[in-house]
Amino acid sequence: MDLIRRVVVFDAADVASVSRFWASMFDGGVIADDERFHVVIDATNAWVIGVQHAPEHVRPVWPEGAPQQVHLDLHVVDGPAALAKALALGADVLQLAEDPDAEHGHHVLADPAGHPFCIGWGHPTPERLAAYLEAEPPG
């Protein structure tokens, strides 16, 4: 599997406020193509976390209470090959991409213990990141 990056994704009912918080913590910015998913970059322009809209999100109570709501994104060059590898290793399909041949997309899987993770490809493109940095220079 040709891994490009791994990204921890936070679920949130208010994607914008959570994204702004983490962008400020990392002295970075937010790439917001839509209200359902934001990319948070740090001061070095690296993608450090994602924030995903979860309208029913309940604030976790640690260590007991509502469970943690975080998952791992694996960004890859070859989506079909990564999917095949995950399935061969025992992953369960939770949701396949609507169009696995699209320029960008993701599959949602679970590891053998049920922990969700995504295999994604094509987002954000290097061009999209460059356009964001040109419009919103860091600092």
Please say if the pLDDT value at position 74 is more than 60.
yes
Task: Tell me how long the chain is.
Answer: 139
Write the secondary structure of the chain as one string of H (helix), E (strand) and C (coil): CCEEEEEEEEEECCHHHHHHHHHHHCCCEEEEEECCEEEEECCCCCEEEEEEECCCCCCCCCCCCCCCCEEEEEEECCHHHHHHHHHHCCCEEEECCCCCCCCCEEEEEECCCCCEEEEEECCCCHHHHHHHHHHCCCC
Nearest to 102 by CA among 84, 81, 121: 121
What's the chain's average pLDDT? 86
CATH topology of domain 3-135: 2,3-Dihydroxybiphenyl 1,2-Dioxygenase; domain 1 (3.10.180)
Question: Do the beta carbons of residue 30 and residue 47 sit within 8 Å?
Answer: no
Q: Give the tens place of pLDDT for each residue, 84-129.
A: 999 998 899 999 999 988 888 999 988 876 778 899 998 776 777 7
